[in-house]
Amino acid sequence: MRDAVIVDAVRTPVGKGKPGGALSGIHPADLSAHILKSLAERNRLDPVEVDDVVWGCVSQVGEQTACIGRYAVLAAGWPESVPGLTIDRQCGSSQQAVHQAAPG
């Protein structure tokens, strides 16, 4: 098994979570795709080389209740061969995502 590698770390902006807020006009997949595209660009990463995307998302509601990790991969224009999954462990979502991605 190959080692899991953390290339970079970024989080999306956080709004106040109320209707009509600053981020309300941005689809969750597009917001997430922006993160993936930025990570690939600033690290000169070819998305073809990505084995998996493990996405932490707290309190999934509305349009992000399906598999936002997978939708982000597709919205970023990454190859369909790159899988994506979503983990919702409330405040521990990102930490659980790292544990899920790390081998053994």
| 67-87: pLDDT as tens digits | 889 999 999 999 999 999 988
- Residue 35, classified by CB atoms within 10 Å of its CB into exposed (0-12), middle (13-18) or buried (19+), is middle
CB 53 within 8 A of CB 73: yes
Going from the C-alpha of 45 to that of each of 8, 48, 83, 92, the distances in angstroms are 11, 9, 16, 27
The Cα 102–Cα 104 span in angstroms is 7
For residue range 33-44, what is the model confidence (pLDDT) as tens digits?
A: 999 999 999 999
- Per-residue pLDDT for 32 more than 70? yes
- Per-residue pLDDT for 13 more than 90? no
The full set of domains in the chain, from first to last, is 28-101 (3.40.47.10)
Question: Which has the higher per-residue pLDDT, 53 or 62?
Answer: 53
Q: How confident is the model at residue 64 (pLDDT cuts 50, 70, 90)?
A: low
- Per-residue pLDDT for 12 more than 60? yes
55 CB-near residues (< 8 Å, 6+ apart): 32, 68, 69, 72, 84, 85, 86, 87, 97
